[in-house]
Structure 1
Amino acid sequence: MVDDSLCFGTFELRPKQAVLLDGGRRIPLGSRALAILTVLARRAGGLVTTDELIQFAWPGVIVEESNVRVQVAALRKALRDGMHGQRYIVNESGRGYRFIAPIVSAALSGLEPRSEVIRWHQRAPSLPLIGRDKAIADVVERLGRERMLTLVGPGGIGKTSVAMSCMARLADLGRKEICFVDLSTLDDPSRVAAAIASALHLPLSGEPIPVILRALRGQSALIVLDSCEHVIVAAATLAETLLLSCSGIGIMATSREALRCKGEAVYRLPPLQVPPNEDAPSATDITAFSAVQLFAERAATSLNPVSITPMNAGTVARICRQLDGLPLALELAAACAGTLGLDILASGLGDRLNLLTQGRRTIARHETLRAMLDWSHDLLADDHRAVLESLSVFRTAFTLNGAIAVAQMDGVSETDVVAAVLQLAATSLLHVDKADTTAIYRLLDTTRVYATEKLVASGRLDQARRQHADYVRMRLAAAEAEWKAARQDDWWARNGSLVEDVQAALDWAFSPEGDARTGIELTISSAPLWLGRSQLGEYWTRVTQSLNRLIATDLGGGREEMQLQLALGHLVFHIHGPGPAEVLAFQRALEIAESTDDVPSMTTAVWALAHERGVMGDHPAAMSLCNKLIALGESEGNLETAAIASRTLALTKFRQGNLVEAQRIGEALVAEHRPVGPSFGTVYRYDQTTASRANLACVLWIRGHADRALEMVRGAVADAAEARNPSSLCYILSSCACPLAFWSGDNELAAHYIDLLASETQRNAFAYMQGWADRYRRIWTARKAGVDVAGSNIIPGVSNLIWFDRQILVSIEAGLLSGPDLVDTGARQASWCGAEVLRAEGERALRSSETDRQVLAERLFVEALDVAREQGALAWELRAAISLASSKRKGKQPHAAFGILQPVLERFSEGFETTDLLAASVLLNELRNSA
């Protein structure tokens, strides 16, 4: 028996015998080379100077340093140093040499037969795993070609469960030699080898590593090292020793970070899939996601069972999202769902660390979320803990620069932050994504809640939040700088989620410890994010909060108030509709803009006021404001102002009934095809390109070009949806696309546009335009059911609608309004649908009980024809001709009816599949036959 053997890789050095063995085969080496190897191996990891090596190998002899280099070279050749990436001896220039491979020192006799008998065993999971089929298949496949694979992921993600399922799968495939080693209970890294020996049922009477190596040599087996993170150095060293010494051994490890030993491959275990953030998901839709499946299965088998229903589907989906698809958190939540109730559970997850405590009794660190996170937190160095805690102020993903900006403070340098981020990512406390070439980090929500608690306790919360607000302000400035140059999709991909960090920064800014001026600035500069992310209600609160602070500090009358008033006017319009409150906000903004000569803001305010006057039917005031816009554009040479002035003029001409001029201006705008979108600070306007095309489509339809109009409005809707400007999209749908579909009689297209308008207005909280979606839906449903819309009361409060909205209804269904409700000005004819108003009154007269109703009706139809001809409104002219011809036919005057209808119908060159032209063709044939 040899008492002083040194094992490394496939080699065994026996100093007392002056022998080096490789897999049991003796390697011929000179005595001096063996002497040098012995001293290096015995002091493995430490530096041995050249003088020390000379004294050990050539005692009492004076030799040159070159002799050492010759012997070391011979050693490296014998050890195959450098081949296949393996390194044993490294030189430190001018100092000496270092042996860097793991060493095992014990009483080994490679000549004795192995006497230990290994008892192999497998552990199967107690429950089938939900949502892990792909992970198990991937891991099993990789274990077939990798000698060492580490399953990496945050605590509670199910690494142990997946590893055990992989063991069971391998056993089913015929691999029986598997050993599971639970390292989670160890509190001393030096006990790792003993734990492996114990799991293998090997006798222990001394140093366990030689016993393990002797038992495993010649075996073909898989060793599973579970929960390595707290003993990671010892586990990595021993794993590497096993791989080097026992060629038939494979290793599967689980850890919150990679072991970083030679030959290791890594499989990062993802969370379970969670439902997307939708307004009203169905029970069927959400059960397709593995996180929901796990929650449902555990909730159904809990003490007070809970099932997923259509009523609670949205709440369940929200719970699964809040818990990041983390299996442990989902199981803990499901266990108390029946006791607490889903609504209370969802609303109480802010205190999830204390709330979710019904965990597995068999694993102490999994009994609560807090215990699981304490396990990871306690393994961190102090400065890494400080960085983790500071990063909890982020509400969404961040870059390394963001981490530095927030976490660098007294006692924590930039270098410390970089090192900490790398370590936190390695230990799965930070989730890492890739955006182009930049690494993007984020905290799982449960980790963020835990780290926030620690940050509060540390006393550094206010400083971290202040630095976070400064960083958000810098990010918004960078986003504004790239607004025009970047593609909109790319811009939103990079900056869209920033609105969540803006919210967090504003919470701090308007708190007693915060800085209100910073909050006001952030409220203004973040406007595109709130509007593009459909958060008008929340933004209304922030704008009002900022205005109140501004006025309270006597800082009104400047740029800040102007921008806030513009935002307020925009919000009032979309939530409450046109009216005095909207006008008040925009007039105040205009007053300040004029005093500061701010042309972009003047343009926005004047445009909004012109639009308000136009929909109210005050054409002189609207035209006066249009002229003001035109003057602004001409004086400044501003393309954006000129574009909005031209579009507003075209729209005002259209509403006045000057269709020819509206078409001329509109076609010139579309022909230029100059995509002049709003600047970053003026996002309250509609997109000029899409709005101009949609408005022109209405003009073209009324002028008799239905096919061209429908094609144009389809393109405008598609482009507005892609442009992430919800106010533009909803304006186009409500004022152009839905009416065009109704006018054309295309029920399928109308249903599509109504659905889109309803979903967009609901998602964006556009209450005013949501009213239009409801009215359109009522008309469509009544027509589908065959209800006489003209004689029904399907739209309540119709007489309270503003001028333009009533005009839209008249153009869609003349019988919806009657008498004074049709118009509220004496100038009926000064309107884009003046002819339709007159025809509607004629149709109402026909339905009345008056004795001369036909005479009165026909007089109104003739008047409608005259107005339509004067305006060039061929579509309205055809409708008036159909009404008059039908009346003449009933009056036994088929020849007169034919003469009225035929010349109008002959002037059409397109739109022959629209309802009006089809009806006119049928009526004309009937008149021709009866004549």
Structure 2
Amino acid sequence: MPPQWQGRLPGSATNFVSRRRELAAARKLLSTSRLVTMTGVSGIGKSRLALRLAMDVRPAFSDGVWLVELAGCDNAELLAETVAVDLDVDHRSGSPVVHTLSAFLADKRMLLVLDHCDGLAAACTTLIRALLAASPRLHVLVTSRNALQMGGERVFPVPPLTVPHLDRLPPATGLNHYGAVRLFAARAAAAQPGFVVDESNWADVAWICRRVDGIPLAVELAAAQLRAMPLRRLVDLLDAHFRERTKAVELAAPHRLRPQPVIDWHFDLCTPAERQVWKRLAVFPSSYDLAAAEAVCGGDDVRAEEVAGIVTSLLDKGIVHRRQDGTADEGVRYQLLAPMRQYGLEHRSRSTRRPDPRIRHRDHYLSLVTVAGTDWFSSRQALWSERLRKERDNLRTAIAYCLTERGKPALALRITSTLLHFWLVTGELHEGRHWLDRAIAADPSPTAERANALSARAILTTLMGDLDQAGPSLAEAEDLARRLNDRRSQAYTQLGLSMLTTHRGDLAGAMIFAEKALAGFRDTGDHAGAHAALSQVAIDAALLGDATATGRAEEGLALCIARQAGRAMPHALWVAAFAAWRRDELRRATALAQSALRLLRPGTDRLAVALTLKLLAWTAIGQNQHTKAARLLGASSSRWLPAELAVVQSQHYAAFDHRCEHGSRQSLGDHQFATVYHQGAQLGFDQAIGYGLGMPAADRPPAEWTRPHGARSLTQREQQVAELVAQGMRNKDIAATLLIARRTAEAHVESILTKFGFTTRAEITAWIAGTDQP
């Protein structure tokens, strides 16, 4: 995280037209109340005002300002999970996610922005009440059409922008005092370069702003039409539309505040193809890329190759917005604003035309997940992980549609079981279990997809500590996979049985299951499964003191290197370090564990950081570094960790912790141990990583220790050598490939290790695999 502030706020797609008075009033409310809800009709500017307020006040919140967008979340059961993921809160236990969130936020001075709470008002109220009770310094800023109606809430009704009175218009220069006119002028200049409000057009601009009630969305939509027509034509068309379509509404509600008439007008101005694409884009709950738009919107009377141009046209008209939450290298993403999406959904519901975009949406994301699953254990692992996180709302929508009568529940089984490794890496175990439970209940057919889903569910529930649920799932999966004679399904069943048996304490039996799983994964070419099985065998063998541990740990590390699976590398290094520690190779264990620690990204994988700090404490006590061991133990139980470490073999790790603590207490004494342990527990996340890497406890680790950057600091030859190391080449092979002396190749490798502070070639491989990470 940047040292100035923490949190996550998106960039603004367009310049914010100042609402100084509203910002000042809302800021005053936020300073005196811990819960402020911005209310108002769709298009009034609640989200934009909330984000600008959040940016302005973020220096006051030492633990950051965090945005959670809920427009694409329509499942109350996943609300807490959505908030936890967006706050980078690692939750892997079986306890409710709200408990982990409450523990994480307990001592935080933070502003949490919950945007678009409309469809989840009851769930948001329950969650906010729990979080505010747990964290006395937490503030929450909500946007919703209506107030939440809960104690302590201060409501800020967002007003429309100010507009001039048509019967007493000021001179053109005076119009700049009105917010709606300033917004129109800014957006009109973007649509028609050189546009300014002057004596020749000020009356028309004032009329438009007044006619659309100063609603920001309506003002922007009107201004966007200047790309296609002159201002006078815009006024005539808008006036004709309002007189024809809204007379009845005017009589019934002369003081309406809604952008609907302007959206109606925009829809009427669209070509038939643009209307079709607009309605089909409404299937996306939040953002999407162009490939997804082409897959979903193409077909019938719109060719796929036409979609890109139509999306661009809708973008020019202000109907589609470009998202600004990524870099140019990650590709552009688009989104319909909530009022435009709702409009498209309503029109599509009245249409009998086919194809149904929900089917195309489902099929596109089924294809995406299938490719990700096949390509998961590769150099693109980090990219796939980030891609699937960006598509979270779309994946939820696709799975939910599969679970409907027409959506084919069997496809839900396929999607959810394929996402197993993604959920394991990201720690979104509750989300995975939620969808697996529903998919399994929806389709009882005896298929390989069901067997895979049952095994995936058992693996997640085992990791969450719910063994009573894992056992029956594995029993059914094992029987089904055997009857189907499906080798891959059998392998995942054996992996699940290995994890469950380990958790129950039968390490020898667990090794047998894991070896069977490994053979099955190798037969079917499932590299991710093979790595999981190798890790399982190595850990169980190390716990037993079995000589198999070293070989299996090295195989797992070699597989990561060969496949350049950067996100799996820290775990592979940890397993190798654990195996080395168990055979008393303390220096090697320390070096491997520190290599793992360097590769763990800040803000994520907190559980992995905790386990690595524990391992470093165990190696320290073995080297009679009692003070260091005590401080590392404290750091591994710090407040930034998950509330519960319900992981496989946790009972064994607890025993190692106890042994380490006992040795340190004996050497330091109870008082000194408690003092040093407390110092470790008070370390922040970055400081704990830095201390584990050998820095003084009070120092802060440089950013490159957690995720090395610096390709520019390598020479061209060193870059070539690094890439060959990542391909698994030894020094003599690198020398032969580059036509240089072996000693020269060795010198280049040593230089790379020194420049980045690495100690192993595996770290070079992981760095190369991760250089395209966002």
Q: Which has the larger radius of gyration?
A: 1
